[in-house]
Amino acid sequence: MACWLLGGAAEAALPSSAETTPAGTLRSEHVRSQALGQRRAVQVWLPPGYARAPERRYPVIYALHGLGGSDRDFFRLGHLGAHLRRAIADGTLAPVIVVAPDGDNGYWTDHAPRAGAPGARWGSFVAEDLVAWVDARYRTVPDRAHRALVGVSMGGYGALSLALTHPKVFGAAVSLSGALFVEVPSHRPVYREVWGDPPDPAWFARASPQALLASLPLDAPMPAIYLHVGKDDPLGFAEMAARAHRTLAAREVEHVYRVTPGGHTWSIWEAETPRWLAFVGAWLGREAAATPRPQPAPLP
């Protein structure tokens, strides 16, 4: 067990809403979700040179915002585009595509049924609809070894939950101040919307990172995991991250766990960006390199 405790098919026409800078191209698009029955906004960041290398395929990082946030947060508040440019330029990260969807306040998970009707399927939106849309529209390497998730707060819950419940889709998860609840929460209306009113502990456990980390068979596919939290987090998320770390360490699951000064803000999440990008950069494609597999045919 290694645990690192570290200090401190062809593309459619391009959309009209796009901003190209030396840091890459950021496109504002919409994807139709069968799982949700609606269109959702999504930001797609393409690395410099994407348009000039039509034969090249790229890994994908899916970035999940927090409660009350939007698809724009990672780029407007976390300045992710600039960090990506630097990481690619200095060689710590191979060129990647980054996809940041708008998940409303759905906690990136399928909601508990209500009155006999299925709940909103936010987890299925990402793992099924969004991934399929991205792979069809952009030049991706369409396997788990080339897909990672990162999320802040609510998105940190979603990143771990989706990676653990869809191990054939995602291979790495970065949780920044993740809302890694130990028991089903019900003290806010949004939680009752997600996990039932009254809350349904069994429904919660089926996608809870804490429950899954403790109960998954040791031979089950496990994502590469990166946990980060501020030691002064006012929401109690530091202890939640510590509990997840203790579970992983006890089960001898390789992971990164970092606690740094600060609370529950974009300032600490942005400060952590170079480190988690290096982690993702070191991981992406590692599994595929160890196990030779047929390469996807080049796009026409």
**pLDDT, position 136:** 97
Q: Are 2 and 248 in contact (CB under 8 A)?
A: no
Q: Domain ranges in the chain?
A: 3-290
Rounded Cα gap, residues 295 and 300, in angstroms: 15
The whole-number average pLDDT for the span 112-137 is: 95
pLDDT digits (tens, 9 = 90+) for 241-280: 999 999 999 999 999 999 999 999 999 999 999 999 999 9
Question: pLDDT band at residue 294, thresholds of 50, 70 and 90?
Answer: very low
E strands, 36-79, are 38-46, 60-64
The whole-number average pLDDT for the span 120-149 is: 97
Rounded Cα gap, residues 204 and 187, in angstroms: 15
**pLDDT, position 116:** 78
The domain over range 3-290 is classified in CATH as 3.40.50.1820: yes
Residue the block writes with tokens 């399927």: 121
Region of 206 please: left (phi>0), alpha (psi -120 to 50) or beta.
Answer: alpha
For residue 298, report the phi and psi dihedrals to the nearest 5 degrees: -65, 150
pLDDT > 90: what percent of the chain? 83
Q: Does residue 12 surpass a pLDDT of 90?
A: no
Question: Which one-letter amino acid corresponds to residue 212?
Answer: L
- The angle subtended at Cα 180 by Cα 175 and Cα 184, nearest 5°, is 155
pLDDT digits (tens, 9 = 90+) for 156-211: 999 999 999 999 999 999 999 999 999 999 999 999 999 999 999 999 999 999 99
Instruction: Report the DSSP beta bridge partners of residue 255.
Output: 3, 225
Tell the burial category of 112 from Cβ atoms under 10 Å away from its Cβ (0-12, 13-18, 19+).
Answer: buried
**pLDDT, position 277:** 98
Q: Report pTM.
A: 0.90
**pLDDT, position 2:** 41
Lowest mean pLDDT across 28-42, 105-119, 127-141, 286-300 = 286-300
Q: Does residue 3 surpass a pLDDT of 90?
A: no
**pLDDT, position 20:** 64
pLDDT > 70: what percent of the chain? 87
Question: pLDDT band at residue 24, thresholds of 50, 70 and 90?
Answer: confident
For residue 108, report the phi and psi dihedrals to the nearest 5 degrees: 55, 35
